[in-house]
Amino acid sequence: MGSNVLLLHVMKNVLPDRIRTAEEIGHLTVITEPGHVQQYGPDVDVHTVPSVQNLEVMRAKVLEILRERRIDRIFAPFELGQSAAGYLRSYFGLPGTGLDVANNFSNKYVMKQRFAAGGLPVTGFRLVAGLHQVPEAAAHLGWPLVIKPMIGGGSINVSVIHGPEHFEEFCRTPAAERVRALPVPLLAERFVEMSAEYHFDAIVENGQVLFSVGSRYTSPVLTRDGFLGSCILPPDDPTRQRMTEMHAQAVSSLGLDSGVTHMEFFETSDGLIAGEIACRPAGGLFPESIRMHTGADLWRACLELALGLSPKLELKDEEGVLAHCHLPISPGRIVEQTTEEELAALPSVVRVDMLRRKGDVVPAHLNSASASAVVYVRADRPEEAEAAIRRVVEEYRIDIVPEEV
Q: State the residues that interact with a second copy by CB under 8 A.
A: 54-56, 60, 63, 66-67, 87, 90-93, 98-100, 103, 107, 109-110, 113, 127, 129-130, 132-133, 183-185
The smaller minimum CB distance to a second copy, of residues 112 and 300, is found at 112
| CB 47 to a second copy: min, Å | 15
- Do 298 and 260 form a contact (C-beta atoms < 8 A)? yes
Distance CA 201, CA 214 (A): 6
| Complete edge-to-edge strand list for the sheet that includes strand 186-190 | 125-128, 186-190, 145-149, 159-161
The answer to whether the Cα torsion of 236, 249, 310, 78 is positive or negative is negative
The smaller minimum CB distance to a second copy, of residues 110 and 374, is found at 110
| CB 277 to a second copy: min, Å | 16
Who's near 180: CB < 8 A, 6+ residues apart?
130, 131
| CB 184 to a second copy: min, Å | 7
| CB 129 to a second copy: min, Å | 4
Distance CA 33, CA 46 (A): 10
The answer to whether the Cα torsion of 111, 114, 120, 126 is positive or negative is positive
The smaller minimum CB distance to a second copy, of residues 140 and 357, is found at 140
Distances (CA, A) of 268 to 135, 244, 273, 338, 383: 25, 18, 7, 36, 19
The smaller minimum CB distance to a second copy, of residues 91 and 135, is found at 91
| CB 100 to a second copy: min, Å | 4
The smaller minimum CB distance to a second copy, of residues 92 and 121, is found at 92
- Do 32 and 9 form a contact (C-beta atoms < 8 A)? yes
**How many other C-beta atoms lie within 10 A of the C-beta of residue 260?**
29
| CB 251 to a second copy: min, Å | 17
The smaller minimum CB distance to a second copy, of residues 55 and 387, is found at 55
The smaller minimum CB distance to a second copy, of residues 96 and 382, is found at 96
| CB 290 to a second copy: min, Å | 31
Q: Reduce the secondary structure of 118-170 to three states and give it as a string.
A: CCCCCCCEEEECCHHHHHHHHHHHCCCEEEEECCCCCCCCCEEECCHHHHHHH
| CB 164 to a second copy: min, Å | 20
- Do 63 and 46 form a contact (C-beta atoms < 8 A)? no
Which amino acid is present at 190? Answer: R
Angle, vertex CA 232, rays to CA 318 and CA 112, nearest 5:
125
- Among 146, 139, 104, residue whose Cα is nearest residue 123: 146
Distance CA 182, CA 159 (A): 14
> How buried is residue 160: exposed, middle or buried, by Cβ count under 10 Å (0-12/13-18/19+)?
middle
The smaller minimum CB distance to a second copy, of residues 37 and 184, is found at 184
| CB 64 to a second copy: min, Å | 9
Three-state secondary structure call for residue 74? strand
- Do 349 and 183 form a contact (C-beta atoms < 8 A)? no
Three-state secondary structure call for residue 55? helix
| CB 90 to a second copy: min, Å | 5
The smaller minimum CB distance to a second copy, of residues 130 and 235, is found at 130
The smaller minimum CB distance to a second copy, of residues 87 and 211, is found at 87
